[in-house]
Amino acid sequence: MSLQPTALVVFLVLFLAVTVMGFAAARWHRPAALVSIDEWGLGGRSFGGFVTWFLLGGDLYTAYTFIAVPGAMYSLGAVSGWFAVAYTILVWPIVFVLMPRLWSVCHKHGYATPADFVRGRAGSKGLALAIAFTGILALMPYIALQLVGIESVLEVMGLGNGSSGFVKDLPLIIAFLILAAYTYTSGLRAPALIAFLKDGLVYIVVLVAIIYIPIRLGGFGHIFAAVNAHAIANAAAAKAAGQKPTFALLPSAKTFWAYGTLALGSAMALFMYPHSITGVLASSRRETVRRNTAALPLYSLALAFIALLGFMAIAAGVKTTNARLAAPLLFRQMFPGWFAGVSYAAVAIGALVPAAIMSIAAANLFTRNIYKEFVRPAATPKEEAKVSKLVSLVVKFGALAFALGLNTQNAINLQLLGGIWILQTFPAVALGLFTKQLHRWGLLAGWLVAMIYGSYEAYGVATPTVAHFAGSTAKVPLFSFTGYIGLTALVINLIVAIAVTLALKALPTTAGRDETAADDYLVDAEDGPMPPAAVRLAE
């Protein structure tokens, strides 16, 4: 693709603004020094409603939202693309029920990670280690996919064309070096501050796109007519070749269970991701979390419009065999150069915010639940902060190597596997907020069986072009329908956990000590000062 000078200039100006904001965040509402995980990794747990709203939105709606969702709509239709809209609608009632309770108990006891909570609730170092391991494992391909989003806009702008190897990847490497530098310096305050600009750009681009592009294409009626004609042509070509159609305008009766279970399972999994919980724990009050849950569905509305970009690309005649380029190519074709640059910047900055939060969340998990728990129990809060900073760099560069060294399609498929994995923490984290009835060994056994089953089933999903990990749905055992592998694994997880729990009822001495009390799940900021972050692990 030819270089777009005007778009590139606008892109660089906005990227420079983000860089300045990232380093300036080091002095934004901070103490004299970021000498604890609470200060560096959770922003001092001081963010109010306004900041939290942008932080959670920037946390959950990533650059890949602009790339994967329209790409799925462009290449496969609503069956694979529109479920994302459904699950982001389902997720908010779940968040409203779970996250205020998690905030309260973490505030009361100084927990900084979901594994901290599980350690305190179940009294099990092994179970906490499993939760921490799962969180880090699930985040690695997720961070790498933020790079895929940046790669996509750089490619469409024409950077790296005609180059190969290091020269082609250099712009991406520079972008991530900048991200690593200001995250190391500013911690969670950097993505929190940048989220203002990121979300503003996203809403501007979406608003312009849903008005301007349909006008140029003759209206939404023409867009859907073009998509319907595309679906008919795809079905006819598949029938002539003796194959199944690859594109569907709407889900068919045969895909209802797959669609529904994928939406429900994804909704249950979203706030089990450590970066989602990090955004919640950074809030200053329990009520801040509750109020934001009522407002955040606005992002679901934006996602619906973003998804339709895939259909607009079909109507606009965008031709590409790489579905992740559908939305950037649409911007290039339909917008003047300067606004295309704004759109590309929205995607790239939309990658930086969640990538920073994800790396911080992974670093916090390693430091609190692996390093301090098993390597240096006597580590001070200052040492914890130092280790988290260093680990956040390792995580970022690991994700960079992951993205550069692995086929993009494989990265996408492994991120689907990440969703299956993280859902298996639901019994220990989400159910643990309400009950201690499940035995710690039962939870660990259920997690292990479900992780093995989910990974094996996902490995066996193949397409003509992808040998393994080609999707996240498979036939449900003992039933005739296809469903989300993660949800099936979760059912198996619970069955095993309950069975082991019942078997161990005769051995009450094996139950771990619960250091939480019923009232701990309802406290707010005014109910007393939070103890130091390391109190529990120092006991």
Whether residue 38 is contained in a domain is answered as no
Is 320 a residue whose pLDDT tops 70?
A: yes
Whether residue 30 is contained in a domain is answered as no
Is 438 a residue whose pLDDT tops 80?
A: yes
Geometric angle at alpha carbon 323, from 320 and 324, rounded to 5°: 120
Is 183 a residue whose pLDDT tops 80?
A: yes
* Lowest model confidence (mean pLDDT) among 82-96, 259-273, 517-531: 517-531
- The tokens describing 60, both together, are 């959950």
- Mean predicted lDDT score pLDDT of the chain: 87
Straight-line distance from the first to the last Cα atom of the chain, in angstroms, rounded to the nearest whole number? 60
- In the three-class reduction of DSSP (H, G, I as helix; E, B as strand; rest coil), residue 473 is classed as strand
Confidence of residue 180 (pLDDT cuts 50, 70, 90): confident
Whether residue 372 is contained in a domain is answered as yes
- Measured distance CA(486)–CA(446) in Å, rounded: 13
Q: For 55-67, how does the pLDDT look when each residue is reduced to its tens digit (9 = 90+)?
A: 887 777 776 778 8
DSSP type of residue 248: B
- The tokens describing 6, both together, are 């005007």
Whether residue 41 is contained in a domain is answered as no
Whether residue 36 is contained in a domain is answered as no
* Contact between 272 and 425 (Cβ < 8 Å): yes
* Contact between 105 and 363 (Cβ < 8 Å): no
Whether residue 31 is contained in a domain is answered as no
Q: For 190-229, how does the pLDDT look when each residue is reduced to its tens digit (9 = 90+)?
A: 888 888 888 888 889 999 999 999 999 999 999 999 999 9
* Lowest model confidence (mean pLDDT) among 9-13, 124-128, 359-363, 469-473: 469-473
In the prediction, which pLDDT does 536 show?
38
- Measured distance CA(256)–CA(392) in Å, rounded: 40
Check residues 320 and 531 and name the one with the higher pLDDT: 320
Confidence of residue 165 (pLDDT cuts 50, 70, 90): low
Whether residue 53 is contained in a domain is answered as yes
Whether residue 533 is contained in a domain is answered as yes
Specify burial of residue 125 (Cβ count, 10 A radius: 0-12, 13-18, 19+).
middle
Q: For 98-138, how does the pLDDT look when each residue is reduced to its tens digit (9 = 90+)?
A: 999 999 999 999 999 999 999 999 999 999 999 999 999 99
In the prediction, which pLDDT does 311 show?
96
Number of domains in the chain: 1
pTM above 0.85, yes or no: yes
- Measured distance CA(301)–CA(88) in Å, rounded: 9
Geometric angle at alpha carbon 23, from 17 and 26, rounded to 5°: 140
Return the CATH number at 437.
Answer: 1.20.1730.10
Domain, as residue range, for 203: 5-21+48-538
Backbone angles phi, psi at 483, to 5 degrees: -145, 175
Span 343-372, mean pLDDT? 92
Span 422-437, mean pLDDT? 96
In the prediction, which pLDDT does 30 show?
60
